[in-house]
């Protein structure tokens, strides 16, 4: 049976050498570095700590970089902005900075999910250089948080300029895999593979993140173009009612098994452990079932990057996954 890869996400709560060493000893086999907010050359110290910790543990870790890709994000805000239900918020000129391609592309009534769905707003008026929206679900909006526009025909380019910059640095930084968000078509993956080839990084594996209905529906047409498919349940869950998400996850897993393609399950595996030392029963059951469904990889995101219990979360993930693998082995030997 192929080794199950277990990833954590680098962040402020786990970037020091001592914590990374504990994560490796708990069973972590690799890390993800989210480049939505920073470039590779701004992470030199973190990567050095990673090398030191891996060396102490005698492991050669996988290093995945998560690109910006064709995603939509809020720009830089001078200070966090509190949005209150019922209030209005302006996107664009004179308000919250957003990608220009959104201006004029959204119809009145279009809903927008901000910060992985934590905030919800609705377009009420289109202006020449801005969009006026009403706040339906409030909260605090910070710089560089995600924007999702379910059903809208908005088509950003595959790679941002910063993505090309980071791809050029990838070989010298020991990157083993590149995660492309919001994959929509075979063309997206061909564009990424060409960029890797141009950077003499053709050996680096491609992880295609399925994050909306468009990507899920088109997956049968491009599944072979990726080295691994990522069932990225955060934004994927923003693009549909949550009760539909488990079925989509099962369908993607089944397709990957049928086409003999590795797949990863990620997002909120142990979400409660941002602030709790022990996970919920539902969370460990979710992990166990992901392994039984054939996942090749599991990944923690905020649990290690920003949570209060990064080592405990990794321990629960690894032990639950190990228990599931043991169950599979016994089942296969019958």
Domain definitions of the chain by residue range: 5-71+156-333, 73-148
Query: Do residues 189 and 226 touch, judged by C-beta distance below 8 A?
Result: yes
Q: How far apart, in whole angstroms, are the C-alpha atoms of residue 225 and residue 188?
A: 10
Beta bridge partners of 120: 113, 137
Nearest to 184 by CA among 161, 164, 206, 209: 209
Instruction: Indicate whether 299 pLDDT > 90.
Output: yes
Domains 5-71+156-333 and 73-148 equal at CATH topology level: no
Query: What's the average model confidence in pLDDT over 105-115?
Result: 94
Which of the four pLDDT bands, split at 50, 70 and 90, describes residue 82? very high
CATH of domain 73-148: 2.40.33.10
| Residue 49 clears pLDDT 90, i.e. is over it | yes
How high is the pLDDT of residue 333? 62
Looking at the predicted structure, is the pLDDT value of residue 1 above 60?
Answer: no
The set of residues, in sequence order, having a beta carbon less than 8 Å from that of 282 and lying 6+ positions away, is none
Q: How far apart are the first and last CA of the chain?
A: 16
Give the tens place of pLDDT for each residue, 237-274: 988 899 999 999 999 999 999 999 999 999 999 999 99
In 3D, which of 163, 208, 201 has the Cα closest to residue 185? 208
Q: What is the pLDDT of residues 183-197, one digit of tens each?
A: 999 999 999 999 999
pLDDT level of residue 151 (50, 70, 90 thresholds): confident
3-state secondary structure of 60: coil
pLDDT digits (tens, 9 = 90+) for 10-36: 999 999 999 999 999 999 999 999 998
Asked whether the predicted pLDDT for residue 331 surpasses 90, the reply is: no
User: For the residues of 117-138, what is the DSSP string, one character each?
Assistant: TTEEEEEEEEETTEEEEEEEE-
Mean pLDDT, the chain, rounded, equals: 95
> Using an 8 Å Cβ cutoff, are 95 and 159 in contact?
no
Q: Which two tokens stand for residue 257?
A: 């098994």
Calculate mean pLDDT across residues 110-132: 94
Q: Mean pLDDT across the stretch 164-189?
A: 96
Q: Mean per-residue pLDDT for 153-165?
A: 91
Task: Using DSSP bridges, classify how beta strands 139-141 and 111-114 pair: parallel, antiparallel or unpaired.
Answer: unpaired
Give dist(CA 177, CA 189) in Å, integer: 13
CATH 2.30.42.10 fits 5-71+156-333, yes or no: no
CA distance 70 to 260: 27
Q: Give residue for tokens 């869950």.
A: 237
Show the 3-state SS of the chain: CCCCEEEEECCCCCCCHHHHHHHHHHCCCEEEEECCCCCHHHCHHHHHHHHHHHHHHCCCCEEEEECCCCCEECCCCCCCEEECCCCEEEEECCCECCCHHHCCCCCCCCEEEECCCCEEEEEEEEECCEEEEEEEECEEECCCCEEECCCCCCCCCCCCHHHHHHHHHCHHHCCCEEEECCCCCHHHHHHHHHHHHHCCCCCCEEEEEECCHHHHHHHHHHHHHCCEEEEEHHHHHHCCCHHHHHHHHHHHHHHHHHCCCEEEEECCCCHHHHCCCCCCHHHHHHHHHHHHCCCCEEECCHHHHCCCCHHHHHHHHHHHHHHHHHHHHHHHHC
- What per-residue confidence (pLDDT) applies to 36? 85
pLDDT at 163: 96
**Can you tell me the mean pLDDT for 76-95?**
96
The rounded distance, in Å, linking the Cα atoms of 123 and 296 is: 40
Alpha carbon distances (Å) from 53 to 28, 30, 96, 209 = 12, 12, 40, 28
pLDDT of 334: 63
Give the residue-averaged pLDDT of 82-93.
Answer: 96
CA distances from 283 to 200, 217, 318 (A): 40, 27, 13
The pTM of this model reads 0.86
Report whether pLDDT(234) > 60.
Answer: yes
Tens digit of each residue's pLDDT (9 = 90 or more) over 194-219: 999 999 999 999 999 999 999 999 99
Q: Are 130 and 45 in contact (CB under 8 A)?
A: no
Q: What percentage of the chain exceeds 90 in pLDDT?
A: 87
Is residue 155 pLDDT above 90, yes or no? no
pLDDT exceeds 90 at position 332: no
pLDDT band at 148 (very low <50, low <70, confident <90, very high): confident
């Amino acid at each position: 049976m192929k080794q199950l890869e277990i990833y954590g996400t680098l962040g402020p709560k786990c970037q020091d050498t001592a914590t990374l060493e504990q994560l490796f000893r708990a069973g972590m086999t690799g890390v993800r570095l989210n480049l939505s907010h920073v470039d590779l050359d701004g992470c030199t110290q973190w990567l050095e700590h990673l090398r030191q910790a891996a060396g102490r543990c005698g492991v050669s870790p996988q290093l995945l970089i998560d690109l910006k890709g064709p995603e939509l994000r809020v720009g830089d805000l001078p200070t966090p902005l509190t949005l209150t239900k019922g209030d209005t918020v302006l996107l664009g000129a004179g308000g919250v900075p957003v990608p220009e391609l959104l201006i004029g592309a959204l119809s009145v009534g279009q809903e927008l999910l901000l910060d992985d769905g934590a905030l919800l707003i609705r377009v009420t008026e289109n202006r020449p250089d801005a969009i006026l929206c009403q706040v339906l679900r409030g909260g605090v909006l910070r710089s560089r948080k995600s924007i999702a526009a379910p059903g809208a025909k908005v088509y950003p380019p595959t790679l941002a300029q910063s993505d090309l910059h980071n791809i050029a640095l990838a070989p010298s930084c020991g990157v083993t895999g590149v995660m492309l968000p919001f994959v929509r078509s075979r063309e997206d993956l061909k564009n990424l593979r060409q960029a890797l080839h141009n950077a003499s990084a053709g050996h680096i594996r491609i992880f295609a993140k399925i994050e909306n209905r468009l990507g899920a529906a088109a997956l049968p047409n491009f599944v072979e173009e990726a080295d691994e498919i990522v069932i990225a349940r955060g934004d994927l869950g923003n693009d549909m009612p949550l009760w539909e998400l488990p079925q989509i996850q099962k369908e993607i897993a089944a397709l990957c098994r049928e086409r003999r393609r590795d797949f990863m399950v990620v997002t909120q595996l142990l979400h409660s452990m941002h602030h709790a030392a022990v996970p919920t029963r539902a969370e460990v059951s979710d992990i166990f079932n992901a392994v039984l469904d054939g996942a090749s990889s599991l990944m923690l995101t905020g649990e290690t990057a920003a949570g209060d219990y990064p080592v405990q979360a990794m321990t629960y993930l690894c032990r639950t996954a190990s228990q599931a693998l043991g169950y599979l082995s016994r089942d296969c030997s019958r």
